[in-house]
Structure 1
Amino acid sequence: MTPNSPSPRTSSGAARGSASPAAPSRRSVLSASALAALAVTGGVPLLSACGGSGSKNEGTTTGKKLKDLLPAYAATQPLTPDLPSKNGSAAGFTRALPADELKASVPEKLGKGSEFTVMAPIWGNIPKQGNPYWTAMDKAAGVRVKWQNQDGNVYGQKLGAVLASSSVPDAVVVPGWELNGKIPSAIANKFADLGPYLTGDKVKEYPNLAAIPTGAWQRSIFGGKLRGLPFPAPTTPNIAPLYRADLFEKEGIEPPKTIQEFYDLCKQLNAPKSKVWACGDMSWAAYAIFGVLPEKPYYWKLVDGRLVNRYETDEYLEALEWSRKLYSAGFVHPDAKSETGNTGDLCAAGKVWMYCHDVSDWYGKSVVQRVDDKKFRMGAFDYFAPDGGAPTLYARPPADIWTFVSKKADEKTVRDILALANFCAAPYGSTEQRLRAYGVEGVHHTFKDGVLAKNGRGNNEVFSTYEYLASPAPYVAYTDQPDIVEGIVEWQQRQGAHTRKPLFHGMMIIEPTRYTELNAEFEDLEKDIVRGRKKVSDMQQAAADWKSRGGDKLRDWYKKLLDETGDSAS
Structure 2
Amino acid sequence: MSAYDARPLTRRAVLAGGAALSLAGAVGCSNNGRGGVSVQNDEASRAKIRPAYVRYSGVEPDLAGAEYNIPDAFRRYPATPVRAVTEPPGDGKPIQITTVTNTPIPPKLEQNRFWQELNKQVGSPVAVSLTSSVDYTQKFATAVAGDRLGDIFMVGVVPQVPQLLSAKAADLTPHLAGDNIKKYPFLANLPEACWNSGIFDGKIYGVPIPRGAISSQVLYSREDILETQGLKAEVKSADDFVELCKSLTNRTLNRFALATPPTQYVQNMFGMPNTWSKNGDALVSYLEHEAHEEVFGILQKLWKSGYIHPDAFSGQNLDMKTRFSNGSSPLVLDTFSGWVGYLQTMVGKDSRIAIIPPPKHDGSGQGQTWLGAPTTSITAISKKAEGRVETLLSYLNYLATPFGTQEYLFRKYGLPGVHHRLVDGNPVLNEKGFSETQLGLQYQADAPWTIFLPEKEGSSDAEFKAMKAVCPNAIANPATGLYSETDVRKGPQLIAAVKEVTDDIIQGRKPVSAWAAAVKKWKSDGGDKIAEELAQALKMSR
Q: How do 1:110-149 residues align onto structure 2 when only pairs under 5 Å count?
A: 110-122=89-101, 123-130=103-110, 131-149=112-130
- TM-superposed CA distance for 1:426, in Å, is 0.6
Structure 1: runs of 5 or more not aligned: 1-25, 34-44
Q: Are the equivalent residues in 2 in contact too, given 1:239–1:359 (CA < 8 A)?
A: yes
Which one-letter code corresponds to 2:34 in the other structure? G
Deviations 1:542-568 (A, max 9, x none): 2112222343344333333333333xx
Deviations 1:422-481 (A, max 9, x none): 111111110111111111222212235312122221111012511222222221212232
2:332 counterpart of 1:352: no
- TM-superposed CA distance for 1:182, in Å, is 4.8
1:7 aligned partner:
none
1:233 aligned partner:
211
1:13 aligned partner:
none
Q: Are the equivalent residues in 1 in contact too, given 2:30–2:201 (CA < 8 A)?
A: no
2:511 counterpart of 1:535: yes
Q: How do 1:178-217 residues align onto structure 2 when only pairs under 5 Å count?
A: 179-182=157-160, 185-217=163-195
Q: Tell me whether 424-433 or 138-147 shows the greater mean CA deviation.
A: 138-147
Structure 2 residue matching 1:474: 3-state secondary structure: coil
Q: Are the equivalent residues in 2 in contact too, given 1:525–1:534 (CA < 8 A)?
A: yes
2:527 counterpart of 1:551: yes
Q: Write the distance in 2 (CA, Å) between the matches of 1:533 and 1:190.
A: 46
For these two proteins, the number of residue pairs brought into alignment is 514
Q: Are the equivalent residues in 2 in contact too, given 1:118–1:148 (CA < 8 A)?
A: yes
Counterpart selection for 2:74 from 93, 116, 122: 93
2:374 counterpart of 1:394: no
- TM-superposed CA distance for 1:185, in Å, is 4.4
1:9 aligned partner:
none
2:51 aligned partner:
71
- TM-superposed CA distance for 1:60, in Å, is 7.9
Q: Write the distance in 1 (CA, Å) between the matches of 2:441 and 2:215.
A: 24
- TM-superposed CA distance for 1:113, in Å, is 2.0
Q: Write the distance in 2 (CA, Å) between the matches of 1:486 and 1:141.
A: 34
Q: How do 1:38-437 residues align onto structure 2 when only pairs under 5 Å count?
A: 48=31, 51-52=33-34, 61-85=41-65, 86-98=67-79, 101-122=80-101, 123-130=103-110, 131-174=112-155, 179-182=157-160, 185-235=163-213, 238-254=216-232, 255-281=234-260, 282-294=262-274, 299-303=275-279, 306-339=282-315, 342-369=319-346, 373-388=348-363, 389-412=365-388, 414-437=389-412
Q: Write the distance in 2 (CA, Å) between the matches of 1:248 and 1:518.
A: 39
- TM-superposed CA distance for 1:344, in Å, is 3.0
Q: Write the distance in 1 (CA, Å) between the matches of 2:450 and 2:516.
A: 41
- TM-superposed CA distance for 1:419, in Å, is 1.2
Q: Write the distance in 2 (CA, Å) between the matches of 1:137 and 1:84.
A: 31
Q: Tell me whether 325-334 or 525-534 shows the greater mean CA deviation.
A: 525-534
Structure 2 residue matching 1:301: 3-state secondary structure: strand
Which one-letter code corresponds to 1:105 in the other structure? A
Q: Are the equivalent residues in 1 in contact too, given 2:217–2:372 (CA < 8 A)?
A: no
Structure 2: runs of 5 or more not aligned: 1-18
Structure 2 residue matching 1:480: 3-state secondary structure: coil
2:8 aligned partner:
none
Q: Are the equivalent residues in 1 in contact too, given 2:29–2:537 (CA < 8 A)?
A: no
1:336 and 1:519, CA in 2 relative to 1: closer, same or farther beyond 3 A?
Answer: closer
Report the TM-score, using the length of structure 2 for normalisation.
0.87
1:541 and 1:180, CA in 2 relative to 1: closer, same or farther beyond 3 A?
Answer: farther
Which one-letter code corresponds to 2:315 in the other structure? E
Q: Write the distance in 2 (CA, Å) between the matches of 1:545 and 1:253.
A: 43
- TM-superposed CA distance for 1:530, in Å, is 2.3
Q: Are the equivalent residues in 2 in contact too, given 1:184–1:510 (CA < 8 A)?
A: no
Q: Are the equivalent residues in 2 in contact too, given 1:118–1:146 (CA < 8 A)?
A: yes
Which one-letter code corresponds to 2:470 in the other structure? Q
1:536 and 1:202, CA in 2 relative to 1: closer, same or farther beyond 3 A?
Answer: same
Q: Are the equivalent residues in 1 in contact too, given 2:171–2:203 (CA < 8 A)?
A: yes
Q: Write the distance in 1 (CA, Å) between the matches of 2:326 and 2:30.
A: 52
Structure 2 residue matching 1:446: 3-state secondary structure: strand
- TM-superposed CA distance for 1:59, in Å, is 8.4
2:9 aligned partner:
none
Q: Are the equivalent residues in 2 in contact too, given 1:383–1:391 (CA < 8 A)?
A: yes
- TM-superposed CA distance for 1:518, in Å, is 4.5
Which one-letter code corresponds to 1:106 in the other structure? V
- TM-superposed CA distance for 1:357, in Å, is 1.9
Q: Tell me whether 441-450 or 197-206 shows the greater mean CA deviation.
A: 441-450
1:184 and 1:536, CA in 2 relative to 1: closer, same or farther beyond 3 A?
Answer: farther
Which one-letter code corresponds to 1:352 in the other structure? S
- TM-superposed CA distance for 1:360, in Å, is 3.7
1:526 and 1:163, CA in 2 relative to 1: closer, same or farther beyond 3 A?
Answer: farther
Structure 2 residue matching 1:433: 3-state secondary structure: helix
Q: Are the equivalent residues in 2 in contact too, given 1:240–1:357 (CA < 8 A)?
A: yes
Q: Are the equivalent residues in 1 in contact too, given 2:210–2:447 (CA < 8 A)?
A: yes
Identity in percent? 26
Q: CA RMSD in A?
A: 2.8
2:419 aligned partner:
444
Structure 1 residue matching 2:358: 3-state secondary structure: coil
Structure 2 residue matching 1:118: 3-state secondary structure: strand
Structure 2 residue matching 1:355: 3-state secondary structure: strand
1:483 and 1:116, CA in 2 relative to 1: closer, same or farther beyond 3 A?
Answer: same
Q: Write the distance in 2 (CA, Å) between the matches of 1:464 and 1:224.
A: 32
Structure 2 residue matching 1:196: 3-state secondary structure: helix
Q: Are the equivalent residues in 1 in contact too, given 2:237–2:361 (CA < 8 A)?
A: yes
Q: Write the distance in 1 (CA, Å) between the matches of 2:140 and 2:294.
A: 35
Q: Write the distance in 1 (CA, Å) between the matches of 2:321 and 2:30.
A: 44
1:47 and 1:304, CA in 2 relative to 1: closer, same or farther beyond 3 A?
Answer: closer
Structure 1 residue matching 2:367: 3-state secondary structure: coil
